[in-house]
Amino acid sequence: MKKQMILTAVTLIVAIVAIFTFASCMKLKPIDPEENEAPGELTPEAAITVYSIKEAEGGILVNLSCEFNGFEDPDLSEWTLDFILTDKYFEEEYYQTAELKVSPADYLIECPKERSGGELSLLVQIREKKNWKNCAGGAYLEISYGLPQLTTDGVLCVLSEMTVEDKANLVFGHDPIKGGASGGTYSLWRFGGPSVTVNDGPAGIRYSHGIWYPSMMNMTSSWDNELIAVIGSHIGSDTLSNGIDVILGPGMNIQKNVTGGRNFEYCSEDPFLTGMAAASYVRGVQSSGADACIKHFALNNQETYRGSVSANVTERALREIYLRPFRIAVEKSEPEWIMSSYNCLNGTHTSIDRELLTDILRNEFGFKGAVMSDWGSAGSVVDKVKAGNDLNMPGASSDKDAVIKALEEGKLTIEELDACCERILRAVAGSATKREYPMNTGIDYDGHSDFAADAAAETMVLLKNDGGALPLKKGTSVALFGNGSFNTVFGGDGSGVVYARSTVNIFDGIKNSKKLSLYDEYGNPFVYCEPHSAEKPENDVKVTAEYAAETSSNADCAVIVISRSSTEGADNQVCKGGFYLSDNESDMIDTVSKAFHEAGKKVIVLLNVGNPIEVVSWRDKVDALMMIGYPGERTGTAVAAVLSGEKTPSAKLTMTWPVDYEDVPAFAYFPGKSSAATYYEDIYVGYRYYSTFGKEVAYPFGYGLSYTGFSYSGFKLKKTEQGNYYAEVTVKNTGKANGREVVEFYVSKPETSFEQPSFELCAYAKTSEMKPGQYQTVKVLIKASEFATYDTENSRYIADSGKYTFYVGNAAGSFLFSTETERDAVTVVYEAENRCVPKAKFDVLKKAAK
């Protein structure tokens, strides 16, 4: 995207150059428009790095080096350097060529004395001597009043002119230009470097008024990468419309435990699904011109003690489960920013962990952007800079003195400081503010809210539908029960909340539906209820047998809403009103189900929750169960669309729903002590645990029903020369409604000296909407990197030799076809180095414990 912009800018300038005739002056050669009438496209086959621009006797002295990437052994004598200098004030342009050198060299660009001394722009390009059209790379620079101005190509020039004070100021946050936003960067106005504003995320921009989109958890349950990218692009556009450059999202920590307070901001218990969903979100946001900041790197899997706890984890689980999604997101979407987390990893706070932020994230994963800390995280600004945590947020004025003092005392080197400044400068140079994107334009509230409602309907997971209880027939009158029908939880709390301009609760959604009608709009006992609260069980309104009986004889069906709030800063509770139903909720389900079933009518339960809750003890009492999660500001509209069959559900669970809390992997180790939590389950997170250890579950990972049915046929697997696989399968809509199916591919790996879970997700795809009788062939590429094992002893990722079984199915463990294949030898997928290793040995779960 940005590369393309530079190319466009460069091409534009070249075009301007071609059109004008220029005043000639000593030693400067005016460009002949005849000769250059059709300048060629720049191709990034060669690159120019500019280290400094300085005023000098007779002109401007530029120090730069050239690098040829796309040519084997280029003959340098065939290439030349073009310099096109534009005096913006006098609107004049001058052209000069020079002999190209690869290593850094000074070039004097001669300028007429009478130039304005104000704003100049300089285009440098590598061009084939005999062919004007063949430009192989270029750089675009600006100079103002003698100082280089920030451009993506001129970062090093700016850095070379910055004072130590400038640098010390740049590595911590400053008040944002947009008051009320989460933070901003230091304004380097002398260098044309604006302050960049950042704000939360991820379910929409948390500014004065925004659009509240489905939570990250909901987005991911669509298993629809394209949809997530489109949601991301809407969120990016809202971000810019509010005058903000960077949205602090997506959240992408692993949903490790079913009580995780921020699971709603995260994607899944599975690393591959998490990485793909987060990458899609970033792609969407960044396609709009805003920047994304993936967070929290890494291991912020619990909110209890988040500022102090050390996630103590083996290097294998660290890499295969917790870091892998970040690697996927970095590789697939190139996020501009990453936020480090509050917690420690194996004893070191992540924001001051050089092995994590520099050795792994940058050197191994290839992250090119900048790292900011989470707000007020532990560790001094100096230690953060040393580790490669570029920006300390929200920052304090004392940070500047601390950085300068550390330099003076030799505790920090200028190289360490420069490395952070360079990365921040790159992010600022590419920001929407610097690129003068249209911002502060005001959000398209109506259009985006309608989109949010449509998107929300794609994220609801149908868990149970006995006797075709759903969809409801046109005209069905719905009796609503449960605090959540009025006090609907649209999303989670904390920094991830969005101040929506308007919301539609479930009550209004059904009331406004053209297909359904609402029973007892005025007499409903829940109209004035307080929100559900685990601490205040009396908030849950009691339903009397009389009210249930009266309602069941007049309404056509009952819809009961069970809601739970979740928030940053606290994990959910394993108590009645938390993971379990409160007594009043249990009574309500009993009383309503009894009355409606006696009247021959159906009972539907909607789970408006940010985490799985216990359902096995009561689900048999109801006919249909739907996990609606936190679908955003138009929850009610989306619920009505799905209940009425206007939309067929097609989402699937991103987390396993356990039978009981004590079935959760390593539940006894969560949340641990304030100083440490042992990741005892090791690689057996989520379904990897339940399937391997033979634990029954309420609903498996990847599970979700539809109003129609699907058959699978023609499963094929083919190995590629690189050791990857192509898989395909044909899916047919065999039911009576239109619908989409998520097709899931899993792999079971050979058990050599490494423990392995029964199976792991290695690819997925979602069909487009199919009419009854229609079919589609889904094709996926399964890369060896998606099922690699981290071999700690040899610090490398490998695809082991032996027998592999690939499965296709519609949920974890619900497999329709499988095929076996052998790998003759061990393949090394990536080399790595042992990093962030545990400080002391601890026991982890092994199959032997089965």
Q: Which is nearer to ligand BGC, 260 or 838 (CB)?
A: 260
Smallest gap from residue 206 Cβ to ligand BGC (A): 8
- Tally of CB atoms within 10 A around 735: 17
Phi and psi, residue 421, nearest 5°: -60, -40
Smallest gap from residue 197 Cβ to ligand BGC (A): 12
Q: Which is nearer to ligand BGC, 231 or 248 (CB)?
A: 248
Smallest gap from residue 681 Cβ to ligand BGC (A): 24
Q: Which is nearer to ligand BGC, 216 or 731 (CB)?
A: 216
Smallest gap from residue 242 Cβ to ligand BGC (A): 15
Q: Which is nearer to ligand BGC, 200 or 663 (CB)?
A: 200
Q: Where are the alpha helices (DSSP H) in 347-397?
A: 354, 381-387
Smallest gap from residue 690 Cβ to ligand BGC (A): 29
Smallest gap from residue 238 Cβ to ligand BGC (A): 16
Smallest gap from residue 215 Cβ to ligand BGC (A): 13
User: Which of helix, strand or coil describes residue 427?
Assistant: helix
Q: Which is nearer to ligand BGC, 294 or 603 (CB)?
A: 294
Q: Which is nearer to ligand BGC, 358 or 377 (CB)?
A: 377
Query: Is omega for the bond preceding 296 within 30 degrees of 0, making it cis?
Result: yes
Q: Which is nearer to ligand BGC, 174 or 319 (CB)?
A: 174
**CA-to-CA distance for 444 and 193, rounded, in angstroms?**
29
Nearest of 656, 663, 662 to residue 686 by alpha carbon: 656
Smallest gap from residue 325 Cβ to ligand BGC (A): 16
Distance of CA 175 to the CA centre of its chain: 25
Q: Which residue has the tokens 């990847």?
A: 702
Residues 800, 802, 806: CA angle, nearest 5 degrees: 90
Structural tokens at position 562: 């069970």
Structural tokens at position 524: 């409903």
Q: Which is nearer to ligand BGC, 342 or 689 (CB)?
A: 342
* Strands across the sheet containing 477-481: 461-465, 624-627, 602-608, 557-563, 477-481, 517-518
Q: Which is nearer to ligand BGC, 118 or 180 (CB)?
A: 180
Phi and psi, residue 452, nearest 5°: -60, -35
Q: Which is nearer to ligand BGC, 121 or 182 (CB)?
A: 182
Contact 332, 279 (CB under 8 A): yes
**CA-to-CA distance for 466 and 468, rounded, in angstroms?**
5
Alpha-carbon separation of residue 236 from 198, 233, 551 (angstroms): 12, 5, 45
Nearest of 391, 397, 378 to residue 419 by alpha carbon: 391
Smallest gap from residue 375 Cβ to ligand BGC (A): 4
CB contact set of 4 (below 8 Å; sequence gap of 6+): none
Q: Which is nearer to ligand BGC, 200 or 786 (CB)?
A: 200
- Tally of CB atoms within 10 A around 643: 29
Structural tokens at position 358: 């520099």
**Which residues on adjacent β-strands are paired with residue 625?**
464, 605
**CA-to-CA distance for 682 and 719, rounded, in angstroms?**
30
Interacting residue ranges for ligand BGC, rule: CB under 6 A: 182, 200, 248, 295, 374-375, 495, 568
* Strands across the sheet containing 119-128: 92-99, 79-87, 119-128, 131-144, 147-149
Alpha-carbon separation of residue 840 from 313, 471, 603 (angstroms): 10, 55, 53
Q: Which amino acid is at 557?
A: C
Contact 556, 601 (CB under 8 A): yes
* Strands across the sheet containing 827-831: 789-791, 796-799, 827-831
Contact 340, 831 (CB under 8 A): no
Could you please report the per-residue DSSP string of 333-402? Answer: H--SEEEE-SSEETTEEGGG-HIIIIIIIIIIT---SEEE--TT-SS-HHHHHHHT--BBSS--THHHHH
Smallest gap from residue 848 Cβ to ligand BGC (A): 38
**CA-to-CA distance for 54 and 111, rounded, in angstroms?**
13
Smallest gap from residue 292 Cβ to ligand BGC (A): 12
Alpha-carbon separation of residue 15 from 24, 108, 178, 427 (angstroms): 19, 24, 37, 28
Is 374 noted as a catalytic residue in this protein? yes
**CA-to-CA distance for 772 and 776, rounded, in angstroms?**
12
Q: Which is nearer to ligand BGC, 278 or 762 (CB)?
A: 278
Select which of 82, 245, 270, 374 is catalytic.
374
Contact 345, 676 (CB under 8 A): no
Smallest gap from residue 248 Cβ to ligand BGC (A): 4
Residues 248, 254, 257: CA angle, nearest 5 degrees: 125
Active-site residue set: 374
